């Protein structure tokens, strides 16, 4: 097989708007000139995306430009009787697809498949791939790496349940046992699966953790506590952009709940007031840089604006 892999980064931008902005009940798949566009119901919101363009700028924080946003609004507005406007947007996020480079120039034509190669004995590389095929990708890489090793069985990823997916607890029984409302159990179940009891136990021990986060798009204080205590969150942006998606579910990008969130995080992580302040400042700068980049006309100017906010972890 080939001795190396060439990967190209393709930027994809999604918009998030409130559920009441579109009248429909179900998702939509729209044909575009080069690809397709999805309109996906997502709790109290819709997700609209995506773009598919080459990206050769900062890979840590790909930036959505004004052109990306206009493209998405233009495409979706072709089929809406009540068009969407900039003001309707509560969140914008951009990601990079690591696509195996092929013959085509357009990233939308590149394969979403993955490849495993062994450029030198003992070194296995895996590249490309996507979410829906990650187990196949993992099995291919592991099986390649262990091929020829005596007594090592084939990858068993296909039989391993995801975290939280071992069982599906009885919602009514939980509501009764913990004396909480069914919709609350349902919402926690949909996020935590069979770990839901851990959160309900925390709430029973400390009733203040049952409170909704002010400005937190319906998330509860306990989710912040759990993100730090059990899910490895170390920084404010871990909680607002990764463990939850509050950063794209509120028009202010989560700024209103930054203060209560750092207070909850700080209790577990032992933060001083100075650390709490630094976390908030970093997040504020990140939001400002993202909003600024989204006003820029093209990738180059959007990237320059996004680079204005350094990473909270330091380094590039
Ligand atoms: C625009 C777009 C559209 C896509 N569409 C599809 C699709 O339709 N179907 C499909 O199957 N797949 C799709 N994918 C691919 C899919 O999103 C990825 O395969 C999947 O998210 C990879 O999961 P992961 O957990 O490996 O990495 P990620 O989801 O990238 O998670 C890694 C996490 O680690 C965080 N992180 C990185 N460095 C650090 C650090 N130093 N400290 C702390 N945290 C860190 C990152 O911020 C990130 O949150 C798409 C990808 C993009 C970008």
pLDDT tens figures, 66-125: 999 999 999 999 999 999 999 999 999 999 999 988 766 677 777 778 999 998 989 999
Does 165 fall in a domain? no
d(CA 186, CA 191): 9
C-alpha angle with apex 302: 62 to 131, nearest 5 degrees?
A: 20
Please tell me whether the peptide bond between 50 and the residue prior to it is cis, using omega within 30 degrees of 0: yes
pLDDT number for residue 111? 76
| Atom number, ligand 1, closest to the C-alpha of residue 133 | 11
Does 185 fall in a domain? no
Torsion of CA 77, 82, 83, 85, to 10 degrees: -150
224 and 127 in a common domain: no
291 and 215 in a common domain: yes
251 and 214 in a common domain: yes
Ligand 1 centre distance from Cα of residue 149 (Å): 31
Residue 247 belongs to domain with CATH number: 1.10.8.870
pLDDT number for residue 108? 74
Q: Sign of the C-alpha dihedral, residues 260, 264, 265, 269? A: positive
Does 270 fall in a domain? yes
C-alpha angle with apex 191: 87 to 86, nearest 5 degrees?
A: 5
pLDDT number for residue 68? 98
- Which residues lie across from 100 on neighbouring strands? 7
60 and 1 in a common domain: yes
| Atom number, ligand 1, closest to the C-alpha of residue 13 | 1
d(CA 239, CA 47): 20
d(CA 129, CA 120): 22
Does 314 fall in a domain? no
Query: Which residues does 14 contact at the CB level (< 8 Å), separation at least 6?
Result: 47, 48, 49, 50, 72, 92, 93, 94
ipTM of the complex: 0.96
Listed residues 101, 136, 160: the one ending a domain:
160
Nearest CA to ligand 1 atom 26: 131
Residue 86 belongs to domain with CATH number: 3.30.9.10
141 and 101 in a common domain: no
Q: Is 68 exposed, middle or buried (0-12, 13-18, 19+ CB in 10 A)?
A: buried
Does 167 fall in a domain? no
| Ligand 1 binding pocket, CB closer than 6 Å | 12, 50, 95-97, 130-132, 242, 313
Ligand 1 centre distance from Cα of residue 103 (Å): 25
d(CA 193, CA 186): 10
Does 138 fall in a domain? yes
Q: How far apart are the first and last CA of the chain?
A: 34
Domain range for residue 91? 1-109
CB 277 within 8 A of CB 31: no
CB 239 within 8 A of CB 260: no
| Structural domains of the chain, count | 3
64 and 156 in a common domain: no
134 and 78 in a common domain: no
pLDDT number for residue 3? 66
99 and 5 in a common domain: yes
Does 76 fall in a domain? yes
pLDDT number for residue 251? 95
95 and 49 in a common domain: yes
133 and 85 in a common domain: no
Probe target for ligand 1 pocket from 16, 29, 130, with the most ligand atoms within 8 Å of CB: 130
Probe target for ligand 1 pocket from 55, 59, 95, 135, with the most ligand atoms within 8 Å of CB: 95
- Residues with pLDDT less than 50, the chain: 316
126 and 86 in a common domain: no
Does 189 fall in a domain? no
Ligand 1 centre distance from Cα of residue 30 (Å): 24
1 and 92 in a common domain: yes
Listed residues 138, 160, 182: the one ending a domain:
160
Ligand 1 centre distance from Cα of residue 24 (Å): 28
pLDDT number for residue 316? 40
Q: What is the DSSP string of 284-305?
A: HHHHHHHHHHTTSSSHHHHHHH
| Atom number, ligand 1, closest to the C-alpha of residue 14 | 1
């Amino acid at each position: 097989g080939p001795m190396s892999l060439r990967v190209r980064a393709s930027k994809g931008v999604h918009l998030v708007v409130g559920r009441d902005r579109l009248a429909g009940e179900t998702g939509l798949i729209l044909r575009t000139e080069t690809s397709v566009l999805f309109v996906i119901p997502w709790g109290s919101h819709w997700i609209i995306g995506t773009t598919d363009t080459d990206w050769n700028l900062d890979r840590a924080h790909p930036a959505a430009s004004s052109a990306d946003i206009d493209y998405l609004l233009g495409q979706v507005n072709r089929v809406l009787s009540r068009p969407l406007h900039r003001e309707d947007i509560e969140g914008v996020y951009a990601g990079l697809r690591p696509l195996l480079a092929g013959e085509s120039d357009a990233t939308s034509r590149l394969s979403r498949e993955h490849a495993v190669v062994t450029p030198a004995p003992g070194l296995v590389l895996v590249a490309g791939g996507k979410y829906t095929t990650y187990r196949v990708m993992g099995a291919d890489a592991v099986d390649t790496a262990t091929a020829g090793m005596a007594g090592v069985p084939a990858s068993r990823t296909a039989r391993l349940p995801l975290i939280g997916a071992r069982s599906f607890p009885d919602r009514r029984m939980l509501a009764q046992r913990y004396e909480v409302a069914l919709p609350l159990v349902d919402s926690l179940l949909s996020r935590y699966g069979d770990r839901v009891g851990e959160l309900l136990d925390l709430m029973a021990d400390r009733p203040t953790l049952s409170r909704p986060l002010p400005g937190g798009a319906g998330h509860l204080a306990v989710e912040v506590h759990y993100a730090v205590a059990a899910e490895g969150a170390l920084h404010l942006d871990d909680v607002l952009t990764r463990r939850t998606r509050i950063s794209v579910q509120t028009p202010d990008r989560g700024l209103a709940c930054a203060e209560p969130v750092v207070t909850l995080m700080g209790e577990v992580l032992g933060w001083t007031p100075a650390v709490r302040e630094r976390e908030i400042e970093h997040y504020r700068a990140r939001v400002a840089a993202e909003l600024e980049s989204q006003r820029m006309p093209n990738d180059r100017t959007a990237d320059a604006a996004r680079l204005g906010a350094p990473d909270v972890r330091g380094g590039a």
